[in-house]
Amino acid sequence: MRDLTSEEKLKYGETEYVKYESYPEDESPVFGRFWTQEQLDDKGCGGLTKMSLDIAETYARHPGFYGSTYCVHCHMHKAVEEFKWEDGEVVGS
C-alpha cells in the first residue's frame, strides 16, 4: 500500500482516498484499489467472502484451527481476525 501520487490526488481530490494498493503487489499497478482512512481504520476491505459449509463447520468446532483465510475481494490470504461473520463477531474468536 502506498500514498497517493500528486496526479492521483488531483484526479481524485473530491474523494476521501488516502492510499492505493496494487494487485498483485510485485507487478504493474494496472489492477488495484483505493482506500479511505475509514476503511483502513476498520481493517476491512468491505468485500463479502463466503465459505463452504464444511469450512464453516470447522470454524464453529475449532475457532483457532485456521490462521488465515482467503479474501475473494482482495485476492489474497489475510489473518482470520480481519474477517467478521454477518452478525459482526470476529471469525475465529
- 26 lies in the same domain as 54: no
**What is residue 44's predicted lDDT score, i.e. its pLDDT?**
65
For 65, the domain range is 44-93
Question: What is the mean pLDDT for each group of 10 consecutive residues in the chain (93 residues)?
Answer: 90 88 65 81 74 85 83 82 80 72
Number of domains in the chain: 2
- 68 lies in the same domain as 24: no
- 20 lies in the same domain as 51: no
Residue 29, preceding bond cis, omega within 30 degrees?
no
d(CA 39, CA 45): 7
**What is residue 30's predicted lDDT score, i.e. its pLDDT?**
64
**What is residue 6's predicted lDDT score, i.e. its pLDDT?**
92
Share of the chain above pLDDT 90, in %: 10
Name the CA dihedral angle for 91, 69, 50, 93, rounded to a multiple of 10 degrees.
-10
- 52 lies in the same domain as 15: no
- 65 lies in the same domain as 28: no
**What is residue 4's predicted lDDT score, i.e. its pLDDT?**
93
- 38 lies in the same domain as 73: no
**What is residue 27's predicted lDDT score, i.e. its pLDDT?**
58
- 54 lies in the same domain as 92: yes
The DSSP result for 26-78, as a single string, is TS-TTEEEEEEHHHHHHT---------HHHHHHHHH-TTS-SEEEETTTTEEE
- 37 lies in the same domain as 53: no
d(CA 28, CA 17): 20
Mean pLDDT of all residues belonging to the chain:
81
- 22 lies in the same domain as 52: no
- 37 lies in the same domain as 55: no
Cell of 60: 464453529
